[in-house]
Structure 1
Amino acid sequence: MKTIKCIIVDDEPLAVSLLENYIREMPSLELIFSAENPVDALEYIRNNTADLIFLDIQMPELSGINFMKIVGDKMKYILTTAYSEYALEGYDHNIVDYLLKPISFERFSKSVEKAQVRFPLNTPEQKHFFVKSSGQQHRIYFEDILYVESIRDYVNVKTAKEEFIVLDTLKSMEQQLPENSFIRIHKSFIVNLNHIKTIGAKKIIVHPEHEIPIGESYKMNFLNRIK
């Protein structure tokens, strides 16, 4: 998984602080710079590279719309504002998403999912990723994962020796895992094909003895994959 390098540009200190905290909760994001003055952000961008900018639309020094006109399409944007009337104008600039303040973490997470689709996250060379669990970042190798289970607003990343409860969605996790090794077989489960021990009509056994149900809507795709 490629980590998405993020910048925050917002003239409100509380808004910057909120987004900084949200970004720290997302293993797929890395905050590399934040600024309350868009001119400072422009200076940073001239000398550094980033992938995604969380950008306030209405700022006194320079509006978010004009900011995008200066920076151009070399970066992607998620716009933030307290004024819904700016939404349509923002979408004219081919942005990823639009967040209306106050921004909840749930809405922020959905916006990040949209961003992840726009970046080539899975590469053949990538053998691990990092997840945040119990306040710490943990390196997990893809080959060690047995399955991933959705548990309400969290996912459980299960390996043979450990499990990690992560604040994330199963859809987001699916996008971060290598497609050649993992498949979703149920609305609540993604499994590692390399750890499947036996396959039944309605369930599989993942090594050593973990029973995982097969959802009817996922069954045909799963059976085609294992052939």
Structure 2
Amino acid sequence: MRKIKCIVVDDEPLAIQLLENYVMKVPFLELVFSSENPIEALEYIQKNETDLIFLDIQMPELSGINFMKIVGDKLKYILTTAYSEYALEGYEHNVIDYLLKPISFGRFEKSAWKAQERFPSGEASANSYFFVKSSGLQHKINFDEILYVESIKDYVSIKTENQEYIVLETLKSLESQLPENFARVHKSFILNLEKIEKIDVKNVFLNSGKEIPIGETYKSEFFLKIRK
């Protein structure tokens, strides 16, 4: 099983100690760094491999939300806080879960398993699907069943051959989870290259009959990708 390299960032020493103990109880998590200072955590991330951050939102030197804005979607986050009103803002980023303090080990473990589903295990089969939360449930979606992904205001629609899933996530965040055979062709669309039937200079036509526009910003990179 692939170890997920994680760090803990919280301005409360007791909260750090608790999360460190929890991490050590989960076999697929590896604690590589912890700090009460988010600036130190930023420096660590720049120099070391990191997968997942257990991140407190309310910190005096740098808030968790601003921390995520600096680091971006290259890492995944599990937010920890005593204030539930920050949950929606957190989901603008690559957030897997939201832990409300005080955190029990049972709730932590459930969150850890959600994180494990979002990381490849090193086996080929582990890269063939991912889990998304839609309508209050975690849904397993095979990548090869996805036709396209569309941004709809604060949500993302994942359209498969048989179903549509509405997910509270950004298109940018979702794009980072998709394999190489997916391409961004428009500010509102990502498509599965294997589902393309034909292309003209302005549109892509999928074998499902769906017509997707090609945005000027993405045109050069898209045509370069399909010629590889």
TM class by shorter chain equals 0.5 to 0.7
In structure 1, the residue matched to 2:105 is: none
In structure 2, the residue matched to 1:15 is: none
Instruction: Confirm or deny that 1:139 pairs with 2:140.
Output: yes
SS in 1 for 2:176: helix
1:138-177 aligned within 5 A: 138-177=139-178
Structure 2 residue runs without a partner (length 5+):
96-114
Shift of 1:4: 6.8
In structure 1, the residue matched to 2:22 is: 44
**Take 2:3 and 2:144, find their aligned partners in 1: how far apart are those partners?**
19
Q: Deviations over 1:6-26 (max 9, x none)?
A: 8988799xxxxxxxxxxxxxx
Q: Which amino acid aligns with 2:189?
A: F
Higher relative contact order, structure no. (Cα contacts within 8 Å, ≥ 6 residues apart): 1
**8 Å Cα contact 1:121/1:175 also seen in 2:** no
**Take 2:20 and 2:93, find their aligned partners in 1: how far apart are those partners?**
23
Which runs of 4 or more aligned residues in structure 1 lie more than 4 Å from their structure 2 counterparts after TM superposition?
2-12, 72-76, 95-103, 119-124
SS in 1 for 2:149: strand
Shift of 1:131: 1.1
Q: Percent identity?
A: 39
Shift of 1:127: 0.3
1:48-67 aligned within 5 A: 48=26, 49-50=28-29, 64-65=36-37
Q: Which amino acid aligns with 2:197?
A: K
Counterpart selection for 2:60 from 76, 80, 84 = 84
Q: Which amino acid aligns with 2:193?
A: L
TM-score, normalised with respect to structure 1: 0.61
Shift of 1:154: 0.6
TM-score, normalised with respect to structure 2: 0.61
Q: Which amino acid aligns with 1:168?
A: E
Q: Which amino acid aligns with 1:148?
A: V
1:1-12 aligned within 5 A: none
Instruction: Confirm or deny that 1:112 pairs with 2:90.
Output: no
In structure 2, the residue matched to 1:127 is: 128
**Take 1:225 and 1:216, find their aligned partners in 2: how far apart are those partners?**
15
In structure 2, the residue matched to 1:23 is: none
In structure 2, the residue matched to 1:188 is: 188
**8 Å Cα contact 2:203/2:214 also seen in 1:** yes
Shift of 1:137: 1.3
**Take 2:150 and 2:3, find their aligned partners in 1: how far apart are those partners?**
22
**Take 1:5 and 1:51, find their aligned partners in 2: how far apart are those partners?**
5
Structure 1 residue runs without a partner (length 5+):
13-35, 58-63
**8 Å Cα contact 1:122/1:177 also seen in 2:** no
Name the Cα RMSD after superposition: 4.5
**8 Å Cα contact 1:80/1:100 also seen in 2:** yes
CA change 1:45–1:160 in 2 (3 A) is: closer
Task: Figure out how many residues of one structure are paired with residues of the other and give that number.
Answer: 183
SS in 2 for 1:223: helix
**Take 1:225 and 1:189, find their aligned partners in 2: how far apart are those partners?**
16
**Take 2:169 and 2:3, find their aligned partners in 1: how far apart are those partners?**
15
Shift of 1:5: 8.8
Comparing 154-163 with 122-131, which one deviates more in the overlay? Answer: 122-131
**Take 2:54 and 2:193, find their aligned partners in 1: how far apart are those partners?**
35
SS in 1 for 2:91: helix
